[in-house]
Structure 1
């Protein structure tokens, strides 16, 4: 794997680290592929018992790469984003994540599918889909309300409002606020890796059994809507405004 996604297996734990600080850890197509391959490896490799996902010290993930959005607006299809989504949903190994700083867009929605989430006091969660002329993705059109309540989910999805670290714990989105989220998450991964692996995998599969196919169907529907909206003038104006560092003017669309 390249330097943007580092992958290390140690003591039965696969650690996937998002490491693209110059782009605020935004995910591009190649990074989606690497994350998908890591999760697929974890699912298939009996020596891997736990997956640990981390960002960098000051940011978890700024969302999807804007250059990819531009390419998709010109008709280039998503190559690996959906594969990453399926791999995360289909992984029956426990997944632990640590979040420092902002988790934006898919940086937030991917966390819906981790089993244990530890956040620094600086963690911020935001889903500014409509501000980008887009719609919810990665199951958030239904799953986010189930996890944090309808009112807060609407505030985040429709108005782009933030969810702070303590609020994320209060609402049940995260397990704990920790001044050292990476260390706390790593310690949880170590403790999980010591438990009975077959029983662990069987139990997580049982917890996902009723909802897995429904979630896969939801993301397929969302991705079709997203693929349409990203080619429309509203999204193109939002992406251009972001790159040009100005406010979008949707009256021009």
Structure 2
């Protein structure tokens, strides 16, 4: 049993074959999908996917899409989280240090969403690129009651420990499959069993060998295989542990 703990199946890249994508994932043992929100304009598509028995959803404002966000979206997010208790987390929110021109705005929206997560007692799904230490510091200051997921983690074991000490799980995806990702692979080897979930970030973050191709939730089985090899564990062990961690984190129904 596998769970793809982070996949953007609402994106238009899947409009022509979404049903087949779900079926391909189920054929390799993926039984549940967690779909985060990115912009207010896409929340309805996300919520529509959440009507499926095998899909759980989150609502949030992603730092990559800053040009699409407005201040009113924060009030709308507060209302949407109240009206849609089926949302299992607030996200995807966070900080992307690659875009220095929007960093001030990113921090404004991130801080506002952290306060909303605290108000609604929801875990958060955090996009954190080139900002691990700063984000860990901010999360420590707020002491969120439900912690959450550091999506697509690629840092050191020291950075990982800062998040784990706050109760967060780390999302492991395509990055771990690259030969050059030595630091991340050393981190994965050293993580406690309850520290991580598996994810794809579909349609983005393709695995090694699939560069330039659309990523899909079925690839989480290959992520599982790489993680198992790094940790000296069986596929079944890693699948069971990561699925248990995702279920616990998001309060998912048990398969």
Band of TM-score, shorter chain: 0.3 to 0.5
- TM-score, normalised to structure 2, is 0.36
Query: TM-score w.r.t. structure 1 length?
Result: 0.36
Larger radius of gyration: 1
